[in-house]
Amino acid sequence: MTRVALGVSYNGQAYNGWQSQPGGNTVQDHLEAALGRFCTQEVSTLCAGRTDAGVHGLMQVVHFDTPLNRPAASWVRGTNTFLPPDIAVQWAQPVPNNFHARASAVARRYAYVLLQSPVRPSVESGRVGWVFQPLDGAAMREAAAHLLGEHDFTSFRAAACQAHTPVKTMHRIDIVQRGVGAPHPELGWSPCYWRFEFEANAFLHHMIRNLMGCLVTVGQGRQAPGWMQQVLQARSRDAAAPTFSPDGLYFLGPVYDAAWGLPQRTAAYDWLP
């Protein structure tokens, strides 16, 4: 048996998340169906990190075991032949049998793209979150600093979360403003995009979307930056802001030790604002 790793990208708008469900309309269901047609036998995959309905993936990594011996390019092109246009295998690579897409990851990365504009998104609908009030970047960065390091993230955990522990280590949160246009003639502030990037050893169910709800609350001046520390210490979901929209959330992919020799990014990284 050969173990193969794949890098998969997808637009999550049309799907009920990553994980297979009885209805069959998930990214995993479509990927395994395509692999099954290409291999003419059933294929089961394991992923680096599950994503919710409406969440996108720039480089989801999966692995599977197969008795077939095919070139890497054949796995990419052959599988993509049977995939819908909004899911695509980006790369394929044979890996040692002790590689595990989830367990071998040392960290995971997400980005959230947010449109700040008096007008709702149109061409980027479903691909960005939206706020119609200006945000204070300095206040959001100050609030985010309270989240760095190892903490109990119960306040940002969905009720349905199945993680064994709410204690996670946040390595990095970057918040940058991009594409600032001319000031709106009536409002006096400029439409723009914000990109929030998160890296941690692991994430809880809805954790990023719950963090985003709190960061936007601070950015809009409805809470002071120090409120984030209070929410964290409360260890109660009731202490935090409502869960934010999934539209602008992207799974950038897992981080592996360089010794595995796997790609770290795909072309979609350069497209994302």
In the chain, how many domains are there? 2
Give the per-residue pLDDT at 14: 95
What's the predicted TM-score (pTM) here? 0.94
Q: Which of the residues 29, 52, 65, 270 is marked catalytic?
A: 52
Q: Does residue 164 share a domain with residue 70?
A: no
Cβ within 8 Å of residue 41, ≥6 positions away: none
Cβ within 8 Å of residue 174, ≥6 positions away: 195, 196, 197
Give me the phi and psi of 20, to 5 degrees please: -55, 140
Model confidence pLDDT, tens digit, residues 224-258: 999 999 999 999 999 999 999 999 999 999 999 99
Model confidence pLDDT, tens digit, residues 57-82: 999 999 999 999 999 999 999 999 99
**In the block, residue with structure tokens 């040392």:** 106
Q: Does residue 236 share a domain with residue 122?
A: yes
- The token pair at 112 is 């959230």
Note if 29 is an active site residue: no
Residue 12 lies in a domain: yes
Average pLDDT in the chain: 94
CB 173 within 8 A of CB 144: yes
Q: With pLDDT > 90 as the criterion, what percentage of the chain qualifies? A: 86
Model confidence pLDDT, tens digit, residues 158-169: 988 888 999 999
The residue range of the domain holding 185 is 107-251
Residue 25 lies in a domain: yes
Q: Does residue 74 share a domain with residue 92?
A: yes
